[in-house]
C-alpha cells in the first residue's frame, strides 16, 4: 500500500476545491497593504479573517523596534533558549510580561502552539487528570498527547459537567488540571470563568486559561477574561500568544507560582526548538508597551467594530455565535460545496474571511469566521456587511 493512501481523501477535496477556484486553505496574500487590507488575486481586499485585534502589525513603532533589532542583533538566534538562544531581549520580555500580569514568573516560547505544548505536556505527571473543554484548540489537545496526563473532556462551557467529572475522580480531583480558553476562536464565545473558578476551588484543582484571543481584547488593562471577570488571582497559569493582539509571532506562559521557573527546564517544546528572533522579540515588547499605554482606546474601537458587524449581520438574518465578540462567526449549513461557493463570492466582492469546515468547527456545520480589528474603519465594516447582504439568498440555501 502506498504511504500516501491515507491522504487520498485530501487529494479528492483539493481537486474538488480547485474546480471551483482558489483553495481557501492556501490563500495567498500577494501584498499586505495595511493591518486591514491586502492584495489577493490581484485585487485590493478587506482582511476580515485575521487575528490582528489591535491592528498593530503595521504600527510604525513596532516596525522600527523590529528593524533596529535586525540591524544590531542579526536575523536569528540560531539556537534554543537553553543552549544558545536566550538573548537579553527574551529575558526583558519575560520580565515585562510578568510585570504586566503581576506574576513572579513568565516564560517566552517561539509560538503560542509551543507554549501550550510545553505546559500541557510537562505539568501533568503520569496519570494526572487533565480536564479539557471539548472545544479546546488543537495545541491544547496536542500538548496533552505529548504528555502523560489522563485527558478527560467536559462539555463546552459547562461548569456543571466539569464539576461532575471532577467529582467522579474522588481524591484525584485535588491536583487535577483544568484547561479553558478566554475567548473561543471559532464562535467568539467566552468561558464562564467565574463558575469554573468556583468548581476549581471546590475540588482543589489547578486552572490554565489560554487567553490567546482575549489578550488585548478583554479586561480593563487588556489582560484578558480573567481580569475582566475579576478572578485573575485564582488562575494558576495563563497561556497566550504574540500572534494576535501583539501582531508578531511567539507565545508565553505566566503563573502566580514561582515554581514555573523549575518547569522551564523540563519542557521539551521550550528546550528543543530555536528561540524567537530578536526582531520578533523587540516588536512584541513594543506592542506590549502600546497595549499597556493605549490599549483602552484601541479596545474601544475594536468593540465598536465588533458591535457594528454583529448587529449588522444579525439584522440581515444570519445565524451568528452566541455573543458579540471581535470574532463573528456566520453559521452555514453542512454543505461544503455551498460554503465554498459563498466564501468565493465574498472574496470576489473584496472581502476575505475564514472558511471553516468540520471537523475544525465545534459542530457539524460550516462557518464563515469573520474577525475584526481596531484598525478597521466603520466604512470597511459596512462593506463587509454589504458583501454578506448581497449573498443572503445563497447562505439561506446552504
Ligand atoms: N491557543 C489558541 C486558543 C489559539 O487559537 C491559537 C492559534 N490560533 C494558539 C493557541 C496558537 O497560537 P500561535 O498561532 O501563536 O501558535
**pLDDT computed for residue 18 by the predictor:** 83
**pLDDT computed for residue 336 by the predictor:** 86
> Ligand 1 within 6 A of 182 CB?
no
Q: Give the C-alpha separation, 302 to 52, whole Å.
A: 10
**pLDDT computed for residue 116 by the predictor:** 98
Q: Which three cell numbers stand for residue 44?
A: 485590493
> Ligand 1 within 6 A of 77 CB?
no
User: Which residue is closest in CA terms to ligand 1's atom 13?
Assistant: 112
**pLDDT computed for residue 372 by the predictor:** 98
For the chain, the structural domain boundaries read: 7-58+296-397, 77-276
Provide the β-strand partners of residue 131.
152, 178
**pLDDT computed for residue 218 by the predictor:** 98
> Ligand 1 within 6 A of 284 CB?
no
Same CATH fold assignment for domains 7-58+296-397 and 77-276: no
**pLDDT computed for residue 134 by the predictor:** 96
82 secondary structure, DSSP code: I
**pLDDT computed for residue 59 by the predictor:** 98
In angstroms, what is the span from residue 241 Cα to ligand 1's centroid? 6
In angstroms, what is the span from residue 391 Cα to ligand 1's centroid? 30
**pLDDT computed for residue 20 by the predictor:** 78
Count Cα neighbours of 108 within 13 Å in the Cβ-side half-sphere. Answer: 31
**pLDDT computed for residue 337 by the predictor:** 86
Helix (H, G, I), strand (E, B) or coil at 296: helix
* CATH T-level topology, domain 7-58+296-397: 3.90.1150
> Could you say which of 3.40.50.800, 3.40.640.10, 1.25.10.10, 3.40.50.1370 is the CATH number of the domain covering 77-276?
3.40.640.10
> Ligand 1 within 6 A of 57 CB?
no
Q: Are 261 and 105 in contact (CB under 8 A)?
A: yes
Adjacency order of strands within the sheet including 367-371 = 327-331, 367-371, 354-356
**pLDDT computed for residue 25 by the predictor:** 85
Q: Taking Cα atoms as reference points, which of 387, 372, 383 lies closest to residue 35?
A: 372
Helix (H, G, I), strand (E, B) or coil at 247: coil
CA angle 180, 271, 212 (to 5 degrees): 25
Q: Are 277 and 77 in contact (CB under 8 A)?
A: yes
**pLDDT computed for residue 275 by the predictor:** 98
Residue 388 phi, psi (nearest 5): -65, -40
Task: Report the C-alpha dihedral over residues 114, 153, 357, 213, rounded to 10 degrees.
Answer: -50
In angstroms, what is the span from residue 114 Cα to ligand 1's centroid? 9
The atom of ligand 1 lying closest to the CA of 242 is 15
DSSP character string of 121-141: HHSS-TT-EEEEETT--HHHH
Length of the chain: 398
Which pLDDT tens digits describe the chain residue by residue (398 residues)? 799 999 999 898 888 888 878 888 889 999 999 999 999 999 999 999 999 999 999 999 999 999 999 999 999 999 999 999 999 999 999 999 999 999 999 999 999 999 999 999 999 999 999 999 999 999 999 999 999 999 999 999 999 999 999 999 999 999 999 999 999 999 999 999 999 999 999 999 999 999 999 999 999 999 999 999 999 999 999 999 999 999 999 999 999 999 999 999 999 999 999 999 999 999 999 999 999 999 999 999 999 999 999 999 999 999 999 999 999 999 998 888 889 999 999 999 999 999 999 888 888 899 999 999 999 999 999 999 999 999 988 877 76
Amino acid at each position: 500500500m502506498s504511504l500516501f493512501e491515507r491522504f487520498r481523501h485530501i487529494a479528492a477535496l483539493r481537486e474538488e476545491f480547485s474546480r471551483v477556484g482558489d483553495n481557501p486553505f492556501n490563500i495567498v496574500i500577494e501584498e499586505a497593504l495595511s493591518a486591514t487590507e491586502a492584495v489577493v488575486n490581484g485585487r485590493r481586499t478587506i482582511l476580515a479573517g485575521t487575528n490582528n485585534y489591535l491592528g498593530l502589525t503595521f504600527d510604525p513603532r513596532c516596525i522600527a523596534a523590529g528593524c533596529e533589532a535586525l540591524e544590531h542583533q542579526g536575523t536569528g538566534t540560531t539556537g534554543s533558549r537553553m543552549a544558545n538562544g536566550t538573548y537579553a531581549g527574551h529575558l526583558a520580555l519575560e520580565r515585562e510580561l510578568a510585570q504586566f500580569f503581576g506574576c513572579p514568573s513568565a516564560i517566552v516560547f517561539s509560538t503560542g502552539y509551543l507554549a501550550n505544548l510545553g505546559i500541557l505536556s510537562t505539568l501533568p505527571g503520569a496519570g494526572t487528570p487533565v480536564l479539557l473543554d471539548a472545544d479546546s484548540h488543537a495545541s491544547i489537545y496536542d500538548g496533552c498527547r505529548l504528555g502523560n496526563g489522563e485527558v478527560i473532556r467536559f462539555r463546552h462551557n459547562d461548569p456543571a459537567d466539569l464539576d461532575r467529572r471532577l467529582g467522579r475522580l474522588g481524591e484525584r480531583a485535588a491536583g487535577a488540571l483544568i484547561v479553558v480558553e478566554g475567548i473561543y476562536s471559532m464562535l467568539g464565545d467566552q468561558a464562564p470563568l467565574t463558575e469554573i473558578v468556583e468548581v476549581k476551588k471546590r475540588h482543589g484543582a489547578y486552572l490554565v486559561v489560554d487567553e490567546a484571543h482575549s489578550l488585548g481584547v478583554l479586561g480593563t488593562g487588556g489582560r484578558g477574561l480573567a481580569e475582566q471577570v475579576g478572578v485573575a488571582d485564582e488562575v494558576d497559569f495563563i497561556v497566550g500568544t504574540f500572534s494576535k493582539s501583539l501582531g508578531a509571532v511567539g507565545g508565553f506562559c505566566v503563573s502566580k507560582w514561582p515554581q514555573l521557573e523549575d518547569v522551564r527546564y523540563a519542557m521539551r517544546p521550550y528546550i528543543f526548538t530555536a528561540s524567537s528572533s530578536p526582531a520578533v522579540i523587540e516588536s512584541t515588547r513594543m506592542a506590549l508597551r502600546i497595549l499597556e499605554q493605549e490599549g483602552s482606546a484601541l479596545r474601544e474601537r475594536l468593540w465598536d467594530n465588533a458591535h457594528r458587524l454583529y448587529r449588522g449581520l444579525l439584522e440581515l438574518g444570519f445565524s451568528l455565535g452566541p455573543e458579540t465578540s471581535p470574532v463573528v462567526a456566520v453559521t452555514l449549513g453542512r454543505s461544503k460545496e455551498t460554503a465554498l461557493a459563498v466564501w468565493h463570492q465574498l472574496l470576489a466582492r473584496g472581502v476575505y474571511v475564514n472558511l471553516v469546515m468540520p471537523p475544525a468547527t465545534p459542530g457539524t456545520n460550516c462557518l464563515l469566521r469573520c474577525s475584526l480589528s481596531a484598525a478597521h474603519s466603520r466604512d470597511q465594516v459596512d462593506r463587509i456587511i454589504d458583501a454578506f447582504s448581497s449573498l443572503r439568498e445563497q447562505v439561506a440555501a446552504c
